[in-house]
């Protein structure tokens, strides 16, 4: 198999799903690809860069799943729900997000995609980026909350999926009701 950035990131995400974030290393991914770690490094950089690429890939996958159009409030809720679904099915998602630094090339692509989608629903770019950042923070907080050591106890007290939806709606409605000067 020919090594490529995409193939390496795919394999790293598969390893994450199977064994968790602790198992993700250039050496372990290389072994799964029948390669050597230095060969992978030429395509993805160091482990931190690989983590960033993995996190960005998962985020872009969530963004791909958001239906376009409609009022911006509906789009933001759908965006948050898509992030939630992606993070809930990704093992150690909260840990990956916390560990992954920004990857410059990927961050620019994400910002361009977000700007286009935000503009398509009629939000000014700066306000839209701020609101989507708040949605990301809320969802990622819920992911850490639900998958952390007390996640089972929390799930016995509250239906987490319903709480995430209610939180997203409240957050977005709050922004809709607030001044455009934020």
pLDDT tens, residue by residue, 65-78: 999 888 999 999 99
Task: Tell me the C-alpha distance between 138 and 142, whole Å.
Answer: 6
Q: 151 vs 166, which has greater pLDDT?
A: 166
Q: Residue 175's closest CA among 145, 144, 135?
A: 135
Least confident range from 40-54, 91-105, 166-180: namely: 91-105
Task: Give the pLDDT mean for 15-30.
Answer: 97
With 0-12 CB in 10 A as exposed, 13-18 as middle and 19+ as buried, what is 156? exposed
Whole-model pTM: value is 0.90
Task: Tell me the C-alpha distance between 69 and 72, whole Å.
Answer: 8
Q: Residue 59's closest CA among 123, 114, 4, 7?
A: 114
Query: What CATH topology corresponds to 67-177?
Result: Tetracycline Repressor; domain 2 (1.10.357)
Query: What CATH topology corresponds to 5-45?
Result: Arc Repressor Mutant, subunit A (1.10.10)
Checking if the pLDDT of 182 tops 80, the result is no
Checking if the pLDDT of 181 tops 60, the result is no
pLDDT of amino acid 179: 67
Residue 24 in tokens: 């993700």
Least confident range from 8-22, 84-98, 167-181: namely: 167-181
- Cβ distance 159 to 106 under 8 Å? no
pLDDT of amino acid 1: 63
Note the residue count of the chain: 182
Q: Residue 181, Cα to own-chain centre: how many angstroms?
A: 27
Phi and psi (nearest 5°) for 123? -95, 140
For the chain, domain boundaries: 5-45, 67-177
């Amino acid at each position: 198999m020919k090594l490529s950035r995409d193939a390496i990131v795919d394999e790293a995400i598969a390893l994450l799903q199977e064994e968790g974030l602790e198992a993700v290393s250039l050496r372990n991914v290389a072994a799964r690809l029948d390669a050597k770690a230095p060969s992978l490094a030429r395509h993805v950089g160091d482990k931190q860069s690989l983590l960033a690429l993995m996190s960005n890939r998962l985020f872009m996958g969530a963004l791909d799943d958001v239906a376009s159009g409609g009022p911006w409030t509906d789009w933001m809720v759908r965006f948050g729900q898509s992030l939630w679904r992606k993070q809930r099915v990704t093992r150690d998602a909260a840990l990956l997000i916390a560990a992954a630094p920004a990857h410059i090339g990927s961050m620019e692509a994400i910002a361009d995609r977000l700007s286009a989608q935000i503009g398509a629903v009629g939000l000014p770019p700066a306000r839209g980026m701020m609101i989507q950042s708040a949605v990301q923070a809320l969802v990622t907080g819920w992911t850490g909350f639900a998958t952390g050591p007390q996640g089972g106890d929390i799930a016995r007290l509250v239906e987490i999926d319903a709480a995430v939806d209610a939180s997203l709606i409240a957050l977005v409605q709050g922004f809709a009701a607030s001044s455009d000067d934020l």
